[in-house]
Each structure stands twice: as structure tokens, then as C-alpha cells.
Structure 1
Amino acid sequence: MTAVAFPSTSESRTPQQVWRRVRGVLCAVLVLVVGGVALAAVRSGGQHGRLDPRSADPQGSRAVAELLDERGVSVDVATTLEEAAGAAGPDTTLLVTAPNLLTTGQQRRLRTATADSAGRTVLIAPDGPTAARLAPGARPEARGPVTARAPGCSLPAARAAGSAELGGIHYGTDSPDATSCYPDDGLAPMLVLPGRGAGDTVLLGSSDLLHNDRLDQQGNASLGMQLLGSRPHLVWYLPSLDDPSAAGGPGGQDGIGGEGAGGASGFLGLIPQGWLWATLQLAFAAVLAAVWRARRFGPLVTERLPVAIRASESTEGRARLYRKADARDRAAATLRSATRTRISPLVGVSTRDADSPAVLLPAVAARIGDPCRDPGALLFGPAPADDAALVLLTDQLDALEREVRTS
């Protein structure tokens, strides 16, 4: 056997065959990309997102904003801490839709701006560290489902609204002046902490009552309008990752992933809605594709080959596999085994004993008649160290077989 460059065989795929094989997948990917771009373009027109007063989505809050506007409450949207803190005042209600998204430094600056403003601050689902900074005295204790609950408190807004859909985070407090509404086992999904002067801070465990698709349920509309419309001016603060104060200023270097950012709550808030359902759909599609392309289980069946494959082509294919895997040991073992099988009948040894050095080697040595030669290194020796040694071994095995046949 000599080292030669292997020519292309019938197993090599042409560019046309490759294209026919992958064009279906490429077309599917192209359709998905085009569909995603089109959907993003459609959704970008006039729709902003969850709890956005400009959004008409089911989880937007355009309905309550328009109701407040009809009652004479001006609604302004703020996307930076500078705008939100600058608007705080006795005639202003500041709604913070995602307080957990703020860094530690931003939360401290916001608390400083609202503590002495004598206005109202409404916080949506602040977690432990966030509540400690923005609403001292309140602490999250548990979570519960969003469901219709009775007021259970003396707050005028809650008593006027009656039953409303609240839940999510339930808060506890040691402050004797705090008002806990819509309680559940002593904890409240709505907590009102009095501030200095006429100001106060309202904690809501969930934002559902402000959503467009929930506003007409129970007393959600009444409660939402009274909480957000107690002052003539409402600042709807939508924290943004583009806010320059998130990267600079006091505590700004804490970053979005740390304690000041609310941890996992802030990160999950950035994931588009429906991601879980989309993931399940993709997983189901992957399972279907695997079942479609997988081998069918069952007993093996024989079938006639459509073409006759030459022995030389099979040998060439196997040699190419050995060469690609750098398996000189396997190639040498195969060559030696084939040589032993062919010469064993010539020296009077059965093929069952062809792999036994104690039986085969004495017979081969007696046949070649040269006591100085040791056929054991050729027939049972170690694997060659490189390709040149493998080629040399092949030549030596051929020479040994010819000698046994002619002697």
C-alpha cells in the first residue's frame, strides 16, 4: 500500500446536492426572520409596552391615563430620574412602574427628592432592598395570587372602590401609622405609609389593576384613579436602561444586576412577554423534527443495493476513514490480521489458530527457512509510529506473504 492522494468518490456531494439538502432549512429561517421584522415593525407603531400610559396593549395603561385626563389630572411620562425627581412636589403624584430596575444610587436620589415633597409616591411591586430604600418601614413578607379582595381598611380610596384585584407581593410593617389594605393573613398587597406633611407612599404588590384588560373588573378603575388622581399632576415614571444616571452619579456604578437594581426582578422585566410560551413552542418543534429525522426502531431488514460497489472503492473509503481519524494502530491491526488469515492455511495452521503467536510463528519460521528472521515483529508487533512506518509495514507484510506462497 502506497501513500497517494485520494480522488473524489461517489460519496462526495456536489454543490447542487448540498443546496437541495439545505434550501428548506434556509427558507424556513428566512421566513422566521422576515416575520419577526414585520411583527416588530407593526408592534412599534403606537404601542410602547407594559404599564405604559401610551400603550393600548392589554397590559398597557392607556385607559386609566385617559380617565385621569378627563378628570383634569395632567399625565406626563418621565423616562429619566432627572425628570422624575425634578417633578416631585406637593401637587404631584409620582408613579414608579419598575422601582427594582433602579440602581442603588438612583433609588437614594429618588428617595431624597420625594421624602420632603409632601406629594404622593406610588411604587409598583418593590422588592426587599428597594422597599427598604424607597419606603422605610415596609418589608415584603410573602407572595399571593392576584384576585378580588375586600378593602379591609379605613382608607377612603379603598372603601370607595370596594373589592379590587390585588395580589403579588404582600407587605408587612412595624409602623403604627401605616395603613394595610386588602389584607391576606395579616399581610397586605397594598400598604400606605404616611410621609412628612400631607405626603405619603403607596406600595402595590402588583400592577394588574392598572392594566387595560383589568380596569373594568371589580373596583380596579375607582381604586386606580383615586390612588393616581389625588393630586392635579401625575408623573408616570418608566425607568429606562438608557438613563444616564444609571451609569454615573452617586451609587450609579452599582449597575443593573446588583442589589440596587432589584436583582432578578429587573432582569426578568426586560424579557419580552410570552417568552415562556415561545420557548415551549420551539422545544415542541425541535422534538417533532427529531422524531421526523430520527431512525425508525425495529428489526433490521435486508435489501438489494441499487448499484454494485467495487471492493477497491470500499477499501479506499475505509482507508480514508482510518487516515482521517489518524488510526494507524487500527489500520496496522487490520493488515496484520488479514495477512495471518491468508498465510495460516499455507503453513498448515487452521484459521482458528491464526491469531495465536505460539502456533502460527513456529510454522511460518519453518516455512521461510531463515532462522535469523523473526516474523513475530511483522505479524504481532507494535503499532507503527507514523505513516511512513505504516507504509513500510504494508510492504513487509506483502513480501512475507509472497515468500510463504513461493517457498
Structure 2
Amino acid sequence: MRSDAIVIGAGIIGAACAHALARSGLSVTVIEEKAAASGTSGQGEGNLLVSDKGPGAELELARYSLGLWDEIEDQLRERLPRGFGSMEYERKGGLVVATTADGAAPLLRFAEDQQQAGVDARPIDHDQALELEPHVNPEITAAVHYPEDAQVQPVIATEALLAAARSHGARTIFGERVIGSVRGADDKIIGVRTTAGVRRAELVVLACGPWAADVAESLGTWIPVRPRRGVILVTTRMPHRIFHKVYDADYVGAVESDDQDLQTSSVIESTAAGTVLVGSSRRQSGFDTALDLPSVREIARKAVRIFPFLAEAAVMRVYGGFRPFMPDHLPVIGPDPRIDGLWHAGGHEGAGIGLSLGTAEMLTDLIMGRRPAIDHTPFDPARPSLLEGAAR
């Protein structure tokens, strides 16, 4: 059976792309080697953030995508099976704090730059910070409130988008690995070879996160994505004492850094189940899955500095995931410059949950010949910063 589009990958980016393409009238097949959200999407916190992004293209995509998240549950409600679980979407807001004298001024300057770009970034005084988070360390030196920051349960959201795509006629195939491309007489891609055979389509979307480089190579092209590992701690259930997404000002620097060595910063929030998620770390170490004890220690130490009561909390689980890191810190969204018919949607690093809906709409608009709602050129796979790397 031939499809209009094959989407490789059933994480949240692939699921969102499948849903947007199917909603636009294309017949879609999603191919996933393992299970839905079995990679990056199932190993993160579900952040939907504007607070960690400075002025520029990624912030514009984040704000566009966040507007789509505000509408998605109503949009999907009639498409999901009866009794389908809530995506736990919550615009809980974020609180970014500085815990040192040296960190206060950079945090406030960053917020001022974001305000100029249209972000609702509200510097607040010490007493206001304690009103928002009564259990935060009273020795914080600066705080900024971001009412736009939100949260979603990423596995449920991925499953919901896939279910909605199926309601529009899409197919999902699990347990098959893509191992090559099928080309037409003009060398245009007309399908993929998988471990189960050949599947044909008019176009192929590569949306498999940190594994995209290997899959791209099997298809005959190149993309400079590489894995950047992160670790998250999960506490046992406790009374609800954290009301926003709270993180320290070091987080922005860790996100934007190219350093391959270990970096940690505190990102702390409560879940609907009563646990507390405590992150995060960043380290480039390939696909190494060994327990990263130095990261665990540093994450815990920094979390206690923000919420001292966490010193008494019990950690019931530690898990790690791989984020798709791009050397110029921007996703790739659009047509491959080397293979006609191949499209990219990836390289979002730790922001993929939040950027997924905007990415899917942008990609679908480009495929359908429509003008995207925001400028797509900074995300073009043919941008100079990526082609220069390919030449080397």
C-alpha cells in the first residue's frame, strides 16, 4: 500500500507531523522501530518553555507553538477514543531564580531582552517570589516569573497525537527499522526499505530525534545531529509544595552551551501524581546508557539549594534520555538539500515537546505549498551553518 507520506519516528515530533499531515488530507504511514515515545519523548519532563530562550528564531517558534498547545486538547477531543487519558496540559508558569549574587544581574538582563521580544517576563521581588513558592530558599538573590510557561505529560501527548492522526486515516507501524531508501528514475526518494520490506510514498519525513544522523546516512544524506544525554530524578509522592516550574538561572547557559563535558542546573516541578521531577544534566557522551552518578549528585545538590526541604525527599527513580543536539542550536525543518522528496523535522534538543506542534504546522505548510505562520528560513536544512559542516 502506497502512502502520500511516510514519517520515520513515533516520538512527539513524528506524532505531531503525522497528525498535521493527515489533517491536511494526506495518507500517512508512521514507521517506528520500537514503541511510541520510546526515545527522547518518553525520557523528559514535558517542558513547554519560553523562559529559557533568548530573542531569535527558536523563541519565535516556541511562542507560536505554545499558542497551538493552548488549543490542542479541544482540537483533539472529538478525535480520541472515549476514556482517553488527559495530556495533563497545565499552564502552570515558571519561576527562574538566581541563588548567588553574581547570578542576579545576568538573570534580570536576560528577562529584559525577552521582554523586548514580547515575552511576558516579570521580575519580582523577594516577597513576591515567596508568595508564588512559599518553600523556595529565602536566600535567593533574584527572581523572574514567566506566566506563559507550561507543562504536558509527553507520553500521553504523543499517544494522543498518534491516535488523532489515525482518526484521519494514518497508519502506525511498530517494530520495523528503516535501513535504506527507495529511489525513482530521477533519484527522487519514493519510499524506504525497512527490516520488513519496502514501503513506498510520495515523500518521507525524518523525525527520529538523536538517531536521525544514522537514519539519514542509511537514506543517503547527512545531518549533524548527535545525542546529548540528560538525567532526571523522580521523588516518591509527597504533599504538593512546588506550584510552578522552578529552575535556576544556570539552566539557560547549559541549554545554549556547546561544551561536551557535564553541565547541570536545577529544574524542579511537581507532577499531577504527587511526585517531584528534578533535573537536569547535559553531557555529550554518545549513546552511553550507564548510570551517571556525578550527574545525579550535582542535580540533587543544586535542587536542595533551591528547595531545602528536598534534602529529606526519597528518590524512587533515576532515568536518562538522549536529546538531539545541533551544533548551531536550531532545529532542522524543511526539505533535504540533497535528496528530493526527503524532509526533516528534528534537532530540537531538550525543547522538542514544546516546539513539536509549531514544527509540525511549519513542515506541513511547506509540504502543502502554503506560507508558514512564521519565518521558516532559520530552520532550513540547507542553511549555511549546516552545509559548511557537511563540506568538512
Q: What band does the TM-score fall into relative to the shorter chain?
A: under 0.3
More helix by share: 1
TM-score (norm: length of structure 1)? 0.21
